[in-house]
Amino acid sequence: MKAYSISDSIYCLHADIQTTDLFEGIWPIPEGVSLNSYVVRGDKIALIDLVRDWTDAPKQLETELASIGISFKDISYLILNHLEPDHTGWLGEFKAINPNIEILSTAKGIELVKSFYHLSDNVRAVKTGDKLDLGRGMVLEFYETPNVHWPETMMTWEATSGTLFSCDAFGSFGALGDRVFDDQFTPEEHAFYERESLRYYANIVGSFSIFVERAVKKLEGLQIRCVAPSHGIVWRKEPLKIVERYLNYATYTNGKPEKEIAIVWGSMYGNTKAGLDAVIRGIEAEGVPYSIHRVPNEDVSYVLADAYKSAGIVLAMPTYEYAMFPPMAYVIDILKRKHVYNKQVLRIGSWGWVGGAKKEYEAAIADLKWTSLESHEWPGAPTEADLKILEERGRALAQAVKALSK
In angstroms, what is the C-alpha Rg of the chain? 24
pLDDT at residue 177 tops 90 = yes
343 and 314 belong to one structural domain? yes
182 and 319 belong to one structural domain? no
Task: Using alpha carbons, list the distances in angstroms from residue 252 to 84, 202, 248.
Answer: 26, 10, 7
Q: Is residue 117 part of a domain?
A: yes
150 and 229 belong to one structural domain? yes
Residue 91, pLDDT score: 98
Residues 19-23, mean pLDDT to the nearest whole number: 97
Strand partners, 143: 155
pLDDT at residue 406 tops 80 = no
67 and 198 belong to one structural domain? yes
* 191 phi, psi to nearest 5 deg: -60, -40
CA end-to-end distance (rounded Å), the chain: 45
Q: In which domain, by residue range, is 330 found?
A: 260-400
Q: What is the pLDDT of residues 179-218, one digit of tens each?
A: 999 999 999 999 999 999 999 999 999 999 999 999 999 9
Task: Using alpha carbons, list the distances in angstroms from residue 357 to 120, 280, 343.
Answer: 53, 22, 20
Strand partners, 308: none
What is d(CA 395, CA 281) in angstroms, rounded to the nearest whole number?
8
Residue 101, pLDDT score: 98
pLDDT at residue 72 tops 70 = yes
Given 203, 232, 250, which residue is the final one in a domain? 250
Q: Is residue 67 part of a domain?
A: yes
For the chain, how many structural domains are there in total?
2
Q: What is the pLDDT of residues 79-106, one digit of tens each?
A: 999 999 999 999 999 999 999 999 999 9
Residue 161, domain CATH: 3.60.15.10
Q: What is the pLDDT of residues 288-316, one digit of tens each?
A: 999 999 999 999 999 999 999 999 999 99
286 and 317 belong to one structural domain? yes
